[in-house]
Chains A and B, each alone.
Chain A
Amino acid sequence: MPRLCFLFSLSSTMQLRSVLSKSFFTAGLLCLSLFSHVSVMAQQRLLPLDKVQSGLAFTGPEILELQADDFANPALPYLDKGAKLWSQGAGKADKSCESCHGDINSSMKGVATRYPAIDKASKKLFNLEDRIRSCRTKQQKASDWPLESDELLAVSLYVTSASNGMPVQATIDGAAKPHFENGQKIFMTRQGQMNMACTQCHDQRYGIKLYTDRLSQGQPNAYPAYRIEWQRLASLERRLRFCYNGVRAEVPAWGHGVMRDISLYLMWRAQGLNIEVPSVRK
């Protein structure tokens, strides 16, 4: 709309001609870039590997202190709860996670670094919460824990803690490839009423202040995290929904595939970071 108005406001034909030629030139460039965009779709890393930083680099001193406090970190009661639920029998056979998986530090070591991952049975991309729910309903034959419920988040945090300090390593080839590419595409695409793409803030403008918030890189390695804004533990999915809200985009339904696709892309993009739980975020 504004572009058309601009065209109408031009007084001389000379100006009009130059603008039109510029427009055609831009249009031509756009088409070219579109095709080139498709061909280098494989892996777009706009954030260089040596610049990758955890969210802690962008938080205030109080949050750093809270996270470092190994007693008063507000995520710790959830970790305690997760540990309890791990050993608690459930379902028809009254089996606990522990009865099959044993000690969490041996069986779950490194697991969180590899999620989201393709579930062989359903061929869908599962995040860690999906996997836990699937285990609970299919293996334990117990009642489902809904997404974002206390129990699911607590166990997810507990399982993730077994990978604490380990580097993230997402698999993006094979069956995961279309999911990765979709996640990457969404990350690079403008959306919402604000018409902003994730990459604009989190690849190109991290570190600058948005009001009094310092923009982070949007890294996923510290989730599930205790988010002070929500006063409770939260999943990466919830955090991404908040981003959608932030740009005034229509938020996909809970459990939607796009959230998992974006999570997979983010995990690939976070190469070089370690799993960092239990964490506190603003």
Chain B
Amino acid sequence: MTAARLQVPPRIVEGDVFKLRLLVQHPMDSGFLRNLEGVLVKRNVIRQLKCIYHDMEVFRVEPTTGTAANPLFEFYLRATTSGELYFRWVDDKGYIGELRHNLVVIPANQSPAPKS
């Protein structure tokens, strides 16, 4: 239903604490504004957004009307092993948004990064 984009560093080594940026396209209608036709737009915000990594919830945010439209969330995560990052969010209408990303984590014992 809604589009989303995720940004993670290009190279992640096991043990790295890396930054994730998630931009979700969602109007986050507060219920206080009217549309172009003058009709009141009902409240519809993302109620809960979570990130699952290796079957564990590693991030959760519960926004309200005070969160801006097309929300951006930035947080950190400690990399363990390669696996799927699964983002899932629900809004007031009950629509479920999902984003899956295959996180590639270079094991710590591998050769270090080439000098740039």
Identify the A interface with B (CB < 8 A).
Answer: 71-72, 74, 76-78, 80-81, 148, 231-232
Whether a CB of chain A sits under 8 angstroms from the CB of B64 is no
For B, the interface residue count at a CB cutoff of 8 angstroms equals: 14
Look across to chain A and name the residue whose beta carbon is closest to the beta carbon of B30: A231
A231 to B44, CA, bound (A): 14
Nearest 8 CB-CB pairings of A with B:
A231-B69, A77-B25, A71-B7, A74-B70, A72-B72, A77-B3, A72-B23, A71-B21
Select one of A71, A72, A81, A232 contacting B3, CB under 8 A: A81
- Residues in B whose Cβ lies below 8 Å from that of A81: 3, 25
Nearest-Cβ distance from residue B63 to partner chain A, whole angstroms: 14
What is the interface of chain A mostly: helix, strand, loop, or mixed?
Answer: mixed
Min distance, Cβ B32 to any Cβ of chain A, angstroms: 12
Q: Does B27 sit within 8 A of A, measured CB to CB?
A: yes
Name the distance in Å between B31's Cβ and chain A's nearest Cβ: 13
Give the nearest-CB partner of B29 in chain A.
A231
* B61 proximal to A (CB < 8 A): no
> Which of chain B's residues have a CB closer than 8 A to the CB of A71?
5, 7, 21, 23
Tell whether, in the assembled complex, residue A148 and residue B36 are in contact, meaning their CB atoms are under 8 Å apart: yes
List the B side residues contacting A77 at CB < 8 Å: 3-5, 23, 25, 70
Interface of B is mostly: loop
B68 within 8 A of A: yes
Distance of A91 Cα from B103 Cα, bound (Å)? 39
Complex interface: chain B residues within 8 A of A231 (CB): 27-28, 68-70
* Chain B, residue nearest A84 (CB): B3
Residue pair B23, A232 in contact (C-beta under 8 Å): no
B39 to chain A, nearest CB (A): 14
Closest Cβ neighbor of B69 among chain A residues: A231
Q: Which of A72, A148, A232 has the most CB of B within 10 A?
A: A72
8 more A-B residue pairs beyond the given contacts A77-B23, A231-B28, with a C-beta to C-beta distance below 8 A: A71-B5, A71-B7, A71-B21, A74-B70, A77-B3, A77-B5, A77-B70, A231-B68
With contact pairs A71-B7, A77-B25, A81-B3 given, residues A232 and B69 touching in the complex (Cβ less than 8 Å): yes
A76 near B68 with CB under 8 A, answer: no
What are 15 pairs between A and B in contact, CB < 8 Å? Answer: A71-B5, A71-B7, A72-B21, A72-B23, A74-B23, A74-B69, A77-B3, A77-B4, A77-B23, A77-B70, A81-B3, A81-B25, A148-B36, A231-B27, A231-B68
Distance between B94 CB and nearest chain A CB, rounded to angstroms: 21
CB within 8 Å of A: which of B1-31?
3-5, 7, 21, 23, 25, 27-28
Q: Assess A80 versus B5: contact at CB under 8 Å? Given A72-B21, A231-B70.
A: yes
A-side contacts of B36, CB under 8 Å: 148
Closest to A148 in B: B36
A223, chain B: closest CB distance, angstroms:
17
CA gap between A270 and B3 in the complex, in Å = 34
Nearest-neighbour CB distance to chain A for B71, whole angstroms, equals 10
